[in-house]
A and B are shown apart, each in its own frame.
Chain A
Amino acid sequence: MRYVALFILSMVFWLLITFKFSAANIAAGAVASAITAAIFGRYYFYNVYKFLQPRRWVWFIVYLTTFIWACIKANFDVAYRVLHPAMPIRPGIVKVKTTLQSEFARTLLANSITMTPGTITVDIIGDEMYIHWIYIRSEDPAQYTRMVIGRFEEYIKKFAE
């Protein structure tokens, strides 16, 4: 089943990126997608039926809007720090704990953290994420965990786990 899911995903991707609907193109795409699915199928989508639950899609859209908004804010934040004559930075690497379990969800959280204002994920060891922060606003672990992870963790938990 999960091979079929990856095959469909690769096929859609192929059609979007080539954008030609001749028979020859579709056949080439099918062959390429079949090879991709055969090689990488066992790494992704441990439970395909999660895709069919509409509740997850709603939370995914909520997450996406929050993410895009955080992304735009991140850009203005970096632009402000870069253009400010005194360069207000206070960098450091902090440790935050995550409650997410699946690897897919953790990858998504790490990617979201990298795109939000002033933070880059350095490493994940066990339950702990190490995050480089350009301006550390608080010394208290509970408080900075909330600032860094924000609302992403609960949204990701609702649609990806």
Chain B
Amino acid sequence: MNDMAAIILISVGVLFNIFGCIGLIRLPDMYNRLQAATKCVTLGCCSILLGVLVHFGIGSAGFRALVAIPILFFTATVAAHALVRGAYHFGTKMDKRSVKDDYREAVK
């Protein structure tokens, strides 16, 4: 039973990681790609870590997996923020389909 749940959780995690990678290739510009990379990959990794927790049970490895989840959340969001801001200041163009850019005036 535990093994089954662990396998399901890890499979879901890997599936979302694959979606993130597809997004990384398909989406047009840097900002949209980062959206796929942060969201799908973060929750995918969390799901894998939960699978690890279920597999090993409450113990040394399980607790480490559990502690890694909030750390992953904080580092992934901060990294995404830093990357997107850095890219904008570096001058990376937004895609042609973009409809709005309020940030341009603020940067000037």
Contact = CB atoms under 8 A, between A and B. Distances in A.
Given A16-B63, A115-B73, 13 more contacts: A19-B60, A19-B64, A71-B43, A72-B43, A74-B39, A75-B40, A78-B19, A79-B19, A89-B32, A91-B32, A110-B77, A111-B74, A120-B38
B35 to A, nearest CB: 5
A128 B100 CA distance: 16
Contacts of B26: 82, 87
A38 to B, nearest CB: 22
7 contacts: A91-B29, A93-B101, A93-B102, A93-B103, A95-B106, A122-B81, A132-B31
A54 B31 CA distance: 40
Interface in A55-69: none
A113 B105 CA distance: 22
B10 interface: no
Interface size class, chain A: 35 or more
A161 B95 CA distance: 38
B97 interface: yes
Interface string B38-82: 111011100000000000000110011011000001100110110
Interface residues of B, number: 45
Most buried by B among A87, A114, A136: A114
Interface of A: 13, 16-17, 19-20, 71-72, 74-75, 77-79, 81-83, 87, 89-95, 110-111, 114-115, 118, 120-123, 125, 128, 130, 132, 134, 136
Given A90-B97, A120-B84, A16 B35 contact: no
A81 B23 CA distance: 8
Contact of B27 (A72, A74, A82, A114): A82
A3 B81 CA distance: 28
B36 interface: yes
Given A17-B64, A87-B27, A118 B35 contact: yes
Given A82-B26, A89-B97, A114 B106 contact: no
